Structure 1
């Protein structure tokens, strides 16, 4: 299916994260310093929604057991031996486009065009 519009930039302020459901997939969008990141909205620990947690600086914290992840890489901060599933993101004018079919481990899925 490729990239599809899931939100508009104005819907996600800098320093904000939001959970969305797209084609049956739960997606977490994060705007950090005007760069957009997309991850599966599920903590790898027990699949609870990361969108119910907190964003503090560059760290996403799961509400259920306080696991933490680096927004920019999806890598685990606590514990370090885990990572989030990332989706490639690109912007097309005001639209946030995500390729939900190309989900991969965070560090390899983030393409250079994921910010504005």
Structure 2
């Protein structure tokens, strides 16, 4: 089946894939197309996050000519986890509410603005 994957920076990837493809395999394919590692990818179809790696596209209801949004994950703990820093940061973060706003830096990249904490 054919699907179209788009990004927030208006990149388009027209893919011919099998409806029996698992989400983890789609993310691996998208890594070769976009350069974005699977663990940094967030896939959204019809407002639903495709977050279960072993689940098949057809189980999520993805059909011929459907559109999937590929977004870069923008969570506060992600960069710290990548660097191996901030042990216990997730614990401290769970006590507070923060607002995370993606801000377009240029056509190629986003940065994140954190506001808070709000108790």
With the length of structure 2 as denominator, give the TM-score of the two structures: 0.26
Structure whose alpha-carbon radius of gyration is higher: 2
With the length of structure 1 as denominator, give the TM-score of the two structures: 0.26
Structure with greater proportional helix content: 2
